[in-house]
Structure 1
């Protein structure tokens, strides 16, 4: 079978969606011919990743993290016609690439599957007007008469309210995180944050965590926050940490290898993610729990499903004092923290079976 997979970006670029798409493509490529078409922030190229052919296209413009390529409709129609793909799969957290793939597939009479990775399209910015218009118009045409896969039950509920039925397929955690022996102890008083640090991901609320850390530092002077992730706001967050007097308490590692990520999870006492919008799943939370690191997360998206409050971690309000109190509680009560670490490791089995 010949499979065309379309995504806004593709591994190793991007984050959770791109890892999900890569794992899907990798599995499919074991018995099928798989071609991936995606955008790139680097340079146009065609390459092979294992058995997967990846065609990376340069977008003409990027609107709110959404890559737009004017020629994409014509390119996809031509590819489908010439290579006679049996099925098209499109991944979407943002408009355009999946919309074009759905249009091209339906025009050419090919089955199309949409993998939906986001809950709320509106993120509290100027683009919310565009997102609302998109939901009422283009998205309805994209999803109509289409097989839809949701990456969580939260996303499934969002789509249900829009009038679309979908099947849930949780993202698969990398086998390396399952096979790695967890370290339930952690090092020192280390807190971990993992997430993209771009202007379109400010809802991850690293600034809120930094302000909470100021309060934690008053009680635990040697507390350390390790930040993993890249983006155009690294300079902003670095300066904010300095302005808050945290230059000796925060370490920015940028993007790291899988091995470094695993070691960072294992050495941290806990993971903190105080997101305020659209956490469709939360792979980094599952990864942390798999390696024996309890999590403090906000009550958004799928987080309350992954983290069982007071058992495998804590659910926090979007308030710096509440976050600080919960960090202090786990750092100061080692017996409870380890109990949550063990429980969390067992709890993630439902996401990998």
Structure 2
């Protein structure tokens, strides 16, 4: 099965859940019998680091019109050089300008989030949100089948964009378990990162954006500190809220209890999961799939998450104790304090690892993705 895969960016160059899933698809789907050729926005180094499997059609810093022109040229060239019976999209922005070049080929969409709705939740301008919505709607009308990461986003795609439920298939992302060494002692991971050995450490890996709930989490730490003055929250990630969050930390006198780490490399992130006592996912809206949830579990580290969208879909079948009552600061504080004091039972390292192995490894996920691709090609039911 030969496919042309249109992504947003290349993960080693550009962090983010969408790019991580695209990167992993390019790595693991070939073993399931899916041939992949990829196009993304990025630097010339993309071709080198991907072994020629993925090409950059334009720099990420280029204007939108330049990127659209680049993807049109690249798609036209790829389809002229080789016959790709199936085209797969991971990002509507770079699929919209090539719709007229695809002919009658079936088109599968990896829907990883409602782009316009996310922009609105994060305070985007009305005109920008309208533009994104129109672009998405146009692209989605052309799609043959959709892959979503959770039931929550299946419902959003159906409700907000009018896509029939029978064309939407829930396939969660897999996790590259080989990235993590669950046998590495926590003390060693902390030494390598320069983290303190004698304090309970919480880890939040999030883009610094409004819908991620980091303001509530920082506010919760002010309450947690009263019972657990040595608790330390490490926040890994970058984004527009960095300055605002740092100001909040200082206003609440939490500089000894909360640290903004900025961007953390993939290698150090694996260490960070091992170094933490547990991870926290405080999302308040639009969590299509918390990839960080299963990454933390794959490292043997439990996760506490809010009852928002996909998070409870992952955590509740494993342990009800891992889901906060709500995303409000007081409920985050209550759950964190209970976990630190032992009143809330957290799963063992081995239980976390076993759960991921049973449900979220790439060989399992790749076969499910391939079945949706096959249905798009043949018109059969999945």
Distance 1:136 1:53 in 2: 28
Distance 1:17 1:137 in 2: 18
Query: Which of 313, 320, 328 is the matching residue for 2:329?
Result: 320
24 and 141 in structure 1: CA distance in 2 versus 1, 3 angstrom threshold = closer
- Aligned position for 1:278: 286
24 and 143 in structure 1: CA distance in 2 versus 1, 3 angstrom threshold = farther
- Aligned position for 2:378: none
Query: Which of 173, 181, 184 is the matching residue for 2:183?
Result: 181
Deviates more, 1:276-285 or 1:8-17: 8-17
Distance 1:193 1:214 in 2: 16
Query: Which of 242, 245, 256 is the matching residue for 1:248?
Result: 256
- Aligned position for 2:370: none
Query: Which of 92, 100, 104 is the matching residue for 2:101?
Result: 104
- Contact conserved, 2:7 with 2:40, CA < 8 A, in 1? yes
- Contact conserved, 2:207 with 2:238, CA < 8 A, in 1? yes
Q: How does 1:189-268 map to 2 (within 5 A)?
A: 189-197=200-208, 201-268=209-276
Q: Could you state the TM-score of these two structures normalised by the residue count of structure 2? A: 0.77
- Aligned position for 2:302: 294
- Contact conserved, 1:46 with 1:54, CA < 8 A, in 2? yes
> The residue matched to 2:248 in structure 1 has which SS?
helix
Structure ranking higher on relative contact order (CA contacts 8 Å, 6+ apart): 2
Query: Which of 171, 174, 181 is the matching residue for 1:172?
Result: 174
Deviates more, 1:254-263 or 1:166-175: 254-263
- Contact conserved, 1:311 with 1:344, CA < 8 A, in 2? no
> The residue matched to 2:10 in structure 1 has which SS?
coil
- Contact conserved, 1:47 with 1:54, CA < 8 A, in 2? yes
Q: CA deviation at 1:332?
A: 0.6
Distance 2:230 2:108 in 1: 50
Q: Which has the higher strand share?
A: 1
149 and 345 in structure 1: CA distance in 2 versus 1, 3 angstrom threshold = same
Q: Which has the higher helix share?
A: 2
342 and 140 in structure 1: CA distance in 2 versus 1, 3 angstrom threshold = same
Aligned Cα RMSD in Å?
3.1
Structure 1 gaps, min length 5: none
Deviates more, 1:164-173 or 1:112-121: 112-121
Q: CA deviation at 1:326?
A: 0.9
